[in-house]
Structure 1
Amino acid sequence: MDSPVQIPFKSFIQLKSEDTTALYLQIVFEFIKAIQIGLLPEGTKLPGTRILCKLLNVNRNTLIKAFQDLELQGWIEILPNKGTFILSEKQLKNKPEFISPSTKNTSKVNSGFTFKNSAILENPKETSDLPYQFNDGLPDLRLVQTDVLARLYVSKLKSQKSLKTWEQIQIQSHLNFKTHFSNFLNLTRGIRISASNILTTSSHEISLYLVTKLLISPGDKVIVASPGYYISNMTLTDSGAHIISIPVDKDGISTEKLKEICQKQQIRILYLTSNYHYPTTTSLSAKRRMEVLELANLYGFVIIEDDYDFDFHYDNNPVLPLAALDTNERIVYIGSFGRSLPAGFGYGFIAAPAAFIKELEKHQNILEPGIDVIKEQVLTDWIREGEVHRLSKKNKKIYKERRDYFVSLLKEKLGAKIKFQIPVRGLAIWVEWQNKFNLVQLQKTCASNGLFLPKTVLYQTKDVTATRLGFGHLDKIEMENAITILNTSLETILNDVL
């Protein structure tokens, strides 16, 4: 990595002199937050303490004390005569269960040319060969009806006999797909759009990338919730946004804090996961929904509403997105479709005013110039014939049973050691640990017992020690074994503390 001085520490290490929390603890918590959302990737070399003191405008003794605390907790490693590094992998080299993307790259370290090296973008995902694994809420691809999809896909390929040119087929098929897809969204999510109001992309992440490219200029202030989604935070920061975090409670983001910030600063965007907040799984209350819309109209900011997990709701009357209530066209609605389908069949999408969609298409034509006509025709048939609804109903029944069984295991095995709310949607549960301990130590102990906890599910601050535990990819036996290992590992750590 290039010189660490280039990292924009001031944009994400925000210290408040008026805060009652000791300054060195503020530094500790800000660094932990930056590491967890991916702004300081693993292996990043930090500047020397004298340089960093000038950047953050703090006393060197204060910074050294903070670094000592961070090293003790396992967030950094201080190597004499070499420097300070974020979550160094040196201690994990001899453990085969951890496979870092960097260790897989056998290409030369140095190239014959220079290029930009991002201090923000990173792939925080880890892989493991351990028998049991948690993730942050992914579906079980073993449930996919691959035979049905394959049969439909082959059928469509064989039927492509037409007097029309391939370009004409593409245009007609894509418009047909957008028409059926927009009707599907209107029916399931209560929004009011036509084909001109929607853009489909290859993934949810591509959708967010395109939206930020058009909406954000360097220095624009963007409000996000804390804790938040590490990938969206990286995307927003990389676009040049100045991130401002506001807290989340049982009713969603704090609208009081949102209003306070808007009164003092010009806000460009509010990024919001209103229905199933990542990572805490809370839903924005009805009262705060109306307050958010009122504030957007009053202060003129744009709402990027990310509804990434709408497909997995378990109540008969799901809470509709804010976009369903948007009469002033202040919301850009991003979502996903077909998360239970095989890789390549799912979609990301953007619903927004027609003029904005038209501009987005220009950029998508460079990023994703091709249209998979056959895939769109297959999904159009699935939507038109009701197969999507049948598959969704079947999967929701399975995932609801898994959620309920997972909840029963958490109560039985972990009991008073945890606190959590049962989510009405999604494939993960936000678990808050009642004892104070080092989550990195829990991760290592679980790994030694055969259970993988990726760092993306671990959250630790001054006030909260929590873990986002995905259950959707696990059957009952896998759940039982995973929770048993988790409980055994926790007891080992707590006994060591005592």
Structure 2
Amino acid sequence: MSSPVKIPFKSLIVLNKQSSTPLYLQIARQLINAIQRGVLVTEIQLPGTRSLSEELGIHRKTIIAAYEELYTQGWTSIIPNKGTFISNQSNKGNPDPLKYDSTYLASYPEKAGFHFKRNILLDNPPTLSDNRLAFTDGLPDIRIAPLDKLGKIYGGVLRRKTSRQHLGYSHIEGNEFYRESLAYYLNNTRGLHISKKNILTTRGVHMGIFLASGVLISSGDLVVVGNLSYYIANMIFQQAGAQIHAVPVDHEGISVEAIKNLCEKQKVRIVYITPHHHYPTTVTLSAERRIELLNLSSKYGFIILEDDYDYDFHYTSSPVLPLASADSMGMVVYIGSFCKTLAPGLRSGYIVAPQNLIEEIGRYRRIVDRQSDMLMEQALGELLVDGEIHRHLKKALKIYEQRSLHLSSLLKEHLDDYVKFKSPPGGLALWSTWKKELNLMRVSKNCLKHRLHLPSTLLYQNELTTAMRLGFGNLTIDELTEAIQILKISIEESF
């Protein structure tokens, strides 16, 4: 049996007297860690409780308690008149003295020790920044969201005895009261004709697209998107096994004629659209094309996946009703959320579809997410019934319209030589095309030097396109002014 003198136990154990974890447990856990990692192998003798307590500078009773914990868990054995020994039979051999270090014991592997499939689709996730100024792809300003009101309602929901029903597991497609309130809200604001049975709640638009894709797409299915289109949706479709075919987008939205020509040649499974404000160019799908697309869907049997991420924000006129409002054949799957209406961190989305599809997607959802946040949905339902969301949108629309106009004015005044754009009719982002000789990645790096974050996901540059999608909703008038000044400097520095 090994002598305890050979093992520098003081280097294996680092105690934190400020921690809420008792010292005896800290000692026991670190010794167990050393055993599991092969630093302390079978038959090594632990120091006597008195000598280890002196070495660590703690009370002997703490060491006794730690040893009792080790013995109780089966890591050690006690031999009368000899001492305490490591007894893990699966861990034999000669310990490596180079590992007698707390740094080694507290480390975690940097890389997996096994092979796994890497997916290039996920190589460029959206980037975030701690910079005070940042352009986004169209996020709202959480500073004006009715969070105080939501907090009061949510707190009230938590305190009610009747809310206990929401704290267990559920087998329904979301909070029933919320789905009833949401159905009423969507019928009034979007011209739908639905009930709660037509709604599955999700944690945002992306989850809605992912769930719908998992149920509706089989390997090799053809999904039609616009050129340009939403890159995250494209990744989801490809992950589900779809082949993606891009068709042109012009000032009236996605080309229905191109979709028709494609359908005459091969089977199309899904047409993905963001018709209210096409992503990323913000154009609205014309009324004529909406009717044509619905007719084509009925004729050729493809699904229309309608992502209405930006419906609540329209400045120049009443918003065009979604295709789902005119769907009489059950061909449209409608996806939306309150993430931009309120705040991105409130993951509150929904799928609207015929009841049999909602039930199937609900079963699919339970594989990865057994149920939604029933308490938050109760609070959101009460916000809807109380009219708070409507009041917030009425106030927010005025603020966002002012910011949209201000951004347009700033671009015209300071960057007119470089940029072409049209003031968006709604939404929280502006589509802009720039001089081809401008290197947008270089501009982005220059912006970062001046503490302005211009994410690469907002930049579109190839042989045919040099464009940016500039989200303005999250920036005040003063912040927009400062951001455009930095953008101008960064562009000038890039030449």
Q: With structure 1 as the length reference, what TM-score do the two structures score?
A: 0.74
Cα pair 1:170 1:373 within 8 Å, conserved: no
Deviation at 1:391, TM superposition (A): 1.0
**Residue 245 (structure 2) aligns with:** 244
Q: How does 1:295-374 map to 2 (within 5 A)?
A: 295-342=296-343, 344-374=345-375
- Shift of residue 155, structure 1, vs aligned partner: 1.3
What is the CA-CA distance between 1:115 and the residue it aligns to? 2.8
Bigger Cα displacement from structure 2, 186-195 vs 359-368: 359-368
Q: One-letter code of the match for 1:144?
A: A
Whole-Å separation in 2 of the counterparts to 1:123 and 1:108: 24
Deviation at 1:132, TM superposition (A): 2.4
Alignment of 1:199 onto 2:200: yes
- Cα pair 1:121 1:238 within 8 Å, conserved: no
| 8 A contact 1:423–1:429 mirrored in 2 | yes
The structural deviation recorded for 1:180 is 1.1
CA distance in 2 between partners of 1:112 and 1:359 (Å): 38
Counterpart residue type for residue 285 of structure 1: S
Residue 121 (structure 2) aligns with: 120
Given the superposition, is the C-alpha separation of residues 463 and 389 from structure 1 closer, same or farther in structure 2, using an over 3 Å criterion?
same
Question: CA offsets, 1:45-84, max 9 Å, x none?
Answer: xxxxxxxxxxxxxxxxxxxxxxxxxxxxxxxxxxxxxxxx
CA offsets, 1:346-396, max 9 Å, x none? Answer: 411111111000001111222221343321221121111211111111111
Q: For structure 1, which segment, 205-214 or 427-436, has the greater mean C-alpha deviation from structure 2 after superposition?
A: 427-436
User: How far is the alpha carbon of 1:449 from its aligned partner?
Assistant: 2.9
Aligned to 1:395: 396
- Distance (Å, rounded) in 2 between the aligned partners of 1:425 and 1:196: 31
Matched AA of 1:413: H
User: 2-side partners of 1:438 and 1:344: how far apart?
Assistant: 33
Q: Secondary structure at the match of 2:415?
A: helix
User: TM (normalized to structure 2)?
Assistant: 0.74
| 3-state SS, counterpart of residue 355 of structure 1 | helix
Q: C-alpha distance in 2, partners of 1:406/1:186?
A: 33
The alpha-carbon deviation at position 187 of structure 1 amounts to 0.5
- Residue aligned with 1:223, SS: strand
Aligned residue number for residue 231 of structure 2: 230
Distance 1:140 1:107 in 2: 38
Deviates more, 1:264-273 or 1:172-181: 172-181
d(CA) in 2 for partners of 1:482 and 1:165? 45
Alignment-derived partner of residue 270 in structure 1: 271
Instruction: Return the offset for 1:254.
Output: 1.3
Quote the sequence identity (%): 43
* Within-5 A mapping of 1:33-112: 108-112=109-113
**What residue identity is the alignment partner of 1:411?**
K
Q: Which residue of 2 aligns with 1:293?
A: 294
Alignment CA distance shift 1:172-1:191 (3 Å) = closer
In 2, distance between residues paired with 1:422 and 1:225? 21
Instruction: Spell out, residue by residue over 1:158-216, the C-alpha distance to the aligned partner (whole angstroms, 9 max, x if none).
Output: 12258979659996992221111111111111111111111111111111100000010
2: CA distance between counterparts of 1:183 and 1:327? 19
Deviation per CA, 1:412-463, whole angstroms, max 9, x where unpaired?
1112421111112211000111343221122122223332211000001222
**Paired residue for 2:151?**
150
Q: What is the Cα deviation at residue 123 of structure 1? A: 4.9
Q: Name the stretch that deviates more: 365-374 or 163-172.
A: 163-172
Distance of aligned partners of 1:107 and 1:321 in 2 relative to their CA distance in 1, 3 Å threshold: farther
Amino acid at match of 1:281: T
AA partner of residue 375 (structure 2): I
1:221 aligns with 2:222: yes
Q: Is the 8 A contact 1:471 1:479 kept in 2?
A: yes
- Provide the secondary structure at the position in 2 that maps to 1:200: strand
Kindly provide the amino acid, as one letter, of the partner of residue 251 in structure 2: K
In the other structure, the counterpart of 1:475 is: 476
> C-alpha offsets along residues 221-242 of structure 1, whole Å, 9 cap, x if unaligned?
1111111111001000110001
Distance 1:165 1:477 in 2: 44
- Determine the C-alpha separation between the residues in 2 that align with 1:173 and 1:199: 6
Relative to structure 1, the CA distance from residue 370 to residue 444 in structure 2 (aligned partners, 3 Å threshold; closer, same or farther) is same
Between the aligned partners of 2:193 and 2:269, the Cα distance in structure 1 is: 25
Whole-angstrom distance in 2 between the partners of 1:308 and 1:241: 22
Structure-to-structure mapping, 1:378-389, within 5 angstroms: 378-389=379-390
Q: Which segment drifts farther, 150-159 or 114-123?
A: 114-123
Shift of the 330–107 alpha-carbon distance from structure 1 to 2, 3 Å rule, reads farther
Distance of 1:261 and 1:223 partners within structure 2:
9
Matches of 2:483 and 2:345 in 1, distance apart?
Answer: 29
Once superposed, what is the RMSD of the aligned Cα atoms? 2.2
**In the alignment, what sits opposite 1:181?**
182
Distance across 1 between alignment mates of 2:167 and 2:333? 32
Tell me which residue corresponds to 2:53. Answer: none
Change (3 A) 1:362 1:112: same
Instruction: Please state whether the residue corresponding to 1:264 is helix, strand or coil.
Output: coil
CA–CA distance in 1 between the matches of 2:294 and 2:372?
35
Counting matched residue pairs gives: 389
The separation in 1 between residues aligned to 2:243 and 2:167, in whole angstroms, is 45
Mark the CA change 1:298 to 1:393 in structure 2 (over 3 Å): closer, same or farther: same
Secondary structure of the corresponding residue to residue 120 of structure 2: coil
Cα separation, partners in 2 of 1:120 and 1:354, compared to 1, 3 Å: same
Q: Once structures 1 and 2 are overlaid, which stretch shifts more, 458-467 or 171-180?
A: 171-180
3-state secondary structure, aligned to 2:424? coil
Instruction: Give the equivalent residue in structure 2 for 1:415.
Output: 416
Change (3 A) 1:449 1:460: same
Report the Cα offset of residue 280 of structure 1: 0.3
1:160 correspondence with 2:158? no
Separation of aligned partners in 2, 1:328 and 1:162: 38
Is the 1:252–1:285 contact (alpha carbons within 8 Å) kept by the matching residues of 2? yes
Change (3 A) 1:441 1:195: same
- Deviations, residues 268-294 of structure 1 (Å, cap 9, x unaligned): 111111111010000111121122112
- Closer, same or farther: CA 123–322 of 1 in aligned 2, 3 Å: same
CA separation in 2, counterparts of 1:165 and 1:483? 47
CA 1:371–1:296 in 2, change beyond 3 Å: closer, same or farther? closer
Please tell me whether the aligned partners of residues 174 and 372 of structure 2 are also in contact (alpha carbons under 8 angstroms): no
Change (3 A) 1:165 1:470: closer
Query: Which residue of 2 is the match for residue 101 of structure 1?
Result: none
The whole-number CA distance in structure 2 between the counterparts of 1:328 and 1:107 is: 55
